[in-house]
Structure 1
Amino acid sequence: MKITLLGTGTSQGVPVIGCTCEVCRSVDYRDRRLRVSVHLQVDGKSIIIDSGPDFRQQVLRERIKTLDALVFTHEHKDHTAGLDDIRAYNFTQHKDMPLYGEERVLEQLKREFSYIFSDYKYPGIPQVKLHPITDEPFKVEGVPFIPIRVMHYKLPVLGYRIGDFTYITDANFISEPEKEKVRGSKVIVLDALRHEPHISHFSLKEAVALLEELQPEQAYLTHISHLMGLHREVELQLPDFIRLGYDGLQIEV
């Protein structure tokens, strides 16, 4: 499996509009973070988890020429707003785009992208096929996914385990039974917003503690805000097996 972190930033991205902090002024490419998303190349399939507002920019940067499916963690705009740009794949691949998400999430997509689902199909709109999922394991175009139920404050969100890789973003609580689904993963990508506690995201300290409990071979942090600090400085504070993720980072599992 080849994993590419398409975006590792929080909902505002980094730099933040109007901010002049040292992180937002940094010239280190690792401090420039688009909205969070990940690309998987596994078993001959190309799958993206979440299509945020930067979706077009991300797939162009990584030259992702084919896309077999989109999988959603939850319905927030920073994870769904780029859905319209799948039109290019519809055109080149001559087929509908499979969308996988909980029923609640798919219903939200129907409201926010109502023109996609209207009775009258305007020429050129995205063509999609909806696949409702639950907490039960499922397959994305033949690739097995294990959902990991986490909480984003009071909103239920799904992380996913695909083989030896687990991806969890937008979370600040994982129950013990759900942790058992993650144990044994060789690589974990987990959200860590900032140093200070937050109502709906793990802080750096909380994320590190969870990863030390789960003990993957390697872990990367994502959904990072400008309040985390400079990439090069924060890296020095982390255990050897944990690194900050950055946009464009590629991982082999």
Structure 2
Amino acid sequence: MKITFLGTGTSQGVPVIGCSCEVCRSVDYRDKRLRVSVHLQVRDKSIIIDSGPDFRQQVLRERIKKLDALVFTHEHKDHTAGLDDIRAYNFSQHKDIPLYGEERVLEQLKREFAYIFADFKYPGIPQVQLHPIDEEPFEVEGIPFTPIRVKHFKLPVLGYRVGDFTYITDANYISAKEIEKVRGSKVIVLNALRKDQHISHFSLREAVALLEDLQPEQAYLTHISHLLGSHREVEQELPDFIRLAYDGLQIEV
């Protein structure tokens, strides 16, 4: 399985509009972060987790010419706003795109993209198939996914384990039961918003502590804000097995 980080930034991205901090002014390409998303290439299947507002830019940058399914973690706009751009795949593949998400998330998509689901469909709109999921394991194009229930302040969010790879974003609490679903993963991706504690995201210290308990072979931090610090400086503070993810990073599991 090849994993490509399409975006590793928080809901505002980095740089932040109107900000002149050192990180936002950085010329290091690793400090340029689009909204968080990840692409999984498993054998001949191409799957993306979350389609934020930078979706078009991300798939063009990575030259992703095929999309077999789109899986959602939750309904916030920085994870769903790019849904309209999947229509390019409808045109090239001549088929509907399967969407996987909790019932609550799919209902939100129906409201925010009402024209996709209208009785009278305007020509050229995205064509989708809805697949409601819950906390039970499910398959995407024959590939097993294990949902990991996390909390984003009070909002229930899903992370996913796919084989030896676990991806969790937008979390600041994971129960002991759900942590056991993650344990044993060779590669774990976890959100770390900033150094100071936050109401709905793990801080750097909290994320590192959890990863030190889980002890994967390799871990990557994502959903990073400009308040965390520069990529170069923060990486020097981390244990050897933990790295900061950056846009365009590719790994194999």
TM-score w.r.t. structure 2 length?
A: 1.00
Determine the C-alpha separation between the residues in 2 that align with 1:238 and 1:112: 40
Structure 2 CA distance, aligned partners of 1:204 and 1:134? 29
Number of positions where the alignment pairs a residue of Structure 1 with one of Structure 2: 253
Please report how far the alpha carbon of residue 186 of structure 1 lies from its aligned counterpart in structure 2 after TM superposition: 0.3
What is the CA distance between 1:43 and its match in structure 2?
2.9
Cα distance in 1 between the residues matched to 2:103 and 2:160: 16
Equivalent positions of 1:100-139 (< 5 A) are 100-139=100-139
Offset, 1:127 = 0.2
Counterpart position of 1:11: 11
Structure 2 counterpart SS, 1:159: strand
Local SS of the residue matching 2:159: strand
- Provide the C-alpha distance between the structure 2 equivalents of 1:151 and 1:43, rounded to a whole number of angstroms: 31
CA distance in 2, matches of 1:227, 1:162: 30
CA contact (8 A) 1:43 1:143 kept: no
Residue pairs, 1:130-149, within 5 angstroms = 130-149=130-149
Q: How does 1:229-240 map to 2 (within 5 A)?
A: 229-240=229-240
Structure 1 stretches lacking a partner, 5+ long: none
Q: Secondary structure at the match of 1:221?
A: strand
**RMSD between aligned residues:** 0.3
Matches of 2:125 and 2:194 in 1, distance apart? Answer: 38
Amino acid in the other structure paired with 1:49: I
How high is the TM-score relative to the length of structure 1?
Answer: 1.00
Return the offset for 1:44.
Answer: 1.5
Shift of 1:163: 0.2
| Partner SS for 1:20 | coil
Indicate the residue corresponding to 2:50 in structure 1: 50
Measure the CA separation in 1 of the matches of 2:206 and 2:231.
18
AA at the equivalent of 2:131:
H
What are the residue-to-residue correspondences of 1:91-106 with 2, within 5 Å?
A: 91-106=91-106
Q: Does 1:181 align with 2:181?
A: yes
Q: Secondary structure at the match of 1:22?
A: coil
Unaligned runs of 5+ in 2: none
1:153 Cα offset (Å): 0.3
Identity of aligned residues (%): 86
Aligned to 1:250: 250
Secondary structure class of the residue paired with 1:13: coil
> How many angstroms does 1:189 deviate by?
0.4
* Letter aligned with residue 76 of structure 2: H
What corresponds to 1:223 in structure 2? 223
Partner-residue secondary structure (3-state), 2:101? strand
Q: Distance in 2 between matches of 1:43 and 1:16?
A: 36
**Misfit runs of 4+, over 3 Å:** none
Alpha-carbon distance in 2 for matches of 1:63, 1:44: 15
Equivalent residue, structure 2, for 1:39:
39
How far off is 1:181 after superposition?
0.3
Q: How does 1:14-29 map to 2 (within 5 A)?
A: 14-29=14-29
- Once residues 178 and 149 of structure 2 are traced to their aligned partners in structure 1, the CA distance between those partners, rounded to angstroms, is 6
